[in-house]
Amino acid sequence: MITLSEFVYAKQHQFAYATGELSALLSSIATAARFINREISKAGLSDILGFNESSNIQGEAQTKLDVLANERFKKALISRGEVAGIASEEDDDLVIFEGGRSQTSKYVVLIDPLDGSSNIDVNVPVGTIFSIYRRVTPIGQNIAIDDFLQPGNKQVAAGYVLYGSSTLLVYTTGQGVHGFTYEPSLGMFCLSNENMSFPEFGNTYSINEGNYLKFPDGVKKYMKYCQEIDKETHRPYNSRYIGSLVADFHRNILKGGIFMYPNTASYPDGKLRLLYECNPVAFIAEQAGAKATDGFQRILDIQPTSLHERSPFFVGTPSMVDQLMHFLTS
């Protein structure tokens, strides 16, 4: 078996800044993921289910595991010298690492520590999403907000961890998408899915249909298209929605399909976070041969304006995204 560290080291020559730092950084993320995996696996036996009394900057109630995962990833990343600071969906502002690292370290990390955390209480798969950028402020100065407000096309790496029937870490550095399954007896992530890619055709659409009345007309028309009978285009499509972006996306990358989270009357700018969810998933999707858009433009070309900016999000098999765009723009 090939471990995550061995694989990243072997592929370093493909990475624009191959100095061994990326391997160490991904190792830190894997270390935190192993801890989260352990806590999730015994969630029903320990006092980590349910909600905290706190809320994040978006006003959303935080689960106990949200807080635990956020602190664990901070601790893992600060223990290494490669990261100058992080921005997290669970924190109001960016976190600058002290001790000189803000001035000397080359990378910043943006992270959604526990995507779909409300599913924990009912034993449904959840995930972690991360995004890595090379800082834009000069070495020797403290990092600043501009290091984090970079468009998604500037990412040097991105990935997710899916905590489900097995725990899987998937990442890309712009040279394909690779998946590693956690082997508990070894305590390591081992290569299980090399060069992952979306199938050419998909027949699954993922959306919270309970919000149908609040969706834009183009999305409603596309949903009706998905439900129509047409043997030539293999419709109707299957409707599958887990409610965890990582889980829904991972199924689609293996089976083909489209994930949709449009803007609604309640969330006119969309609900998913551009920096912590849309950008990293879009980067992975494009490397796996898929498309990602906000309904008007490529996700990776959007210039962020704030840490917690939201966006509509549509990602999946290119032909399905193209068909959706036809309804959105016609």
* Rounded mean pLDDT, 222-237: 95
Expressed in percent and rounded to 5, the helix, strand and coil fractions of the chain are: 40, 25, 35
Q: How far apart are CA 236 and CA 224, in angstroms?
A: 9
Q: How far apart are CA 261 and CA 324, in angstroms?
A: 12
* Rounded mean pLDDT, 248-271: 96
The answer to whether 217 is annotated as binding is no
Mean pLDDT across the chain: 91
pLDDT on residue 60 = 62
CB 259, CB 248: distance < 8 Å: yes
> How would DSSP label each residue in 187-226?
TEEEEEE-S----S---EEE--GGGGGGS-HHHHHHHHHH
Fold of 204-329: D-Maltodextrin-Binding Protein; domain 2 (3.40.190)
Q: How far apart are CA 204 and CA 90, in angstroms?
A: 31
The CATH 3.30.540.10 portion of the chain extends over 4-193
pLDDT on residue 22 = 80
The answer to whether 271 is annotated as binding is yes
In this structure, what is the dihedral angle of CA atoms 219, 252, 33, 99, given to the nearest 10 degrees?
Answer: -50
pLDDT on residue 96 = 94
The answer to whether 232 is annotated as binding is no
Angle between the N-to-C axes of helices 64-78 and 21-41, in degrees from 0 to 180, rounded to the nearest 10:
150
CB 67, CB 90: distance < 8 Å: yes
Tokens 């290494």, residue? 80
Q: How far apart are CA 173 and CA 283, in angstroms?
A: 9
pLDDT on residue 271 = 95
pLDDT on residue 220 = 98
Percentage of the chain lying above the pLDDT 90 cut: 77
The answer to whether 277 is annotated as binding is yes
pLDDT on residue 102 = 86
The answer to whether 133 is annotated as binding is no
The answer to whether 112 is annotated as binding is yes
What are the pLDDT digits (tens) for 178-193? 999 999 999 999 999 9
What are the pLDDT digits (tens) for 148-167? 999 999 999 999 999 999 99
pLDDT on residue 174 = 93
The answer to whether 118 is annotated as binding is yes
User: pLDDT-based confidence at 255, cuts 50/70/90?
Assistant: very high
Q: Where in 80-176 does DSSP place strands (E)?
A: 83-88, 95-96, 107-115, 126-134, 155-163, 167-172
The DSSP call for residue 248 is H
Asked whether residue 59 carries a pLDDT value surpassing 60, the answer given is no
pLDDT on residue 52 = 58
CB 109, CB 89: distance < 8 Å: no
Q: How far apart are CA 302 and CA 15, in angstroms?
A: 24
Q: Where in 56-154 does DSSP place strands (E)?
A: 61-63, 83-88, 95-96, 107-115, 126-134
The answer to whether 39 is annotated as binding is no
**Helix, strand or coil, per DSSP, at residue 279:** helix
The CATH 3.40.190.80 portion of the chain extends over 204-329
What is the number of other CB atoms lying within 10 angstroms of the CB of residue 21? 18
Q: Which residue has the higher pLDDT, 109 or 101?
A: 109
What are the pLDDT digits (tens) for 7-42? 988 887 766 655 678 888 999 999 999 999 988 887
* Rounded mean pLDDT, 123-143: 94
The answer to whether 208 is annotated as binding is yes
CATH superfamily of 4-193: Fructose-1,6-Bisphosphatase, subunit A, domain 1 (3.30.540.10)
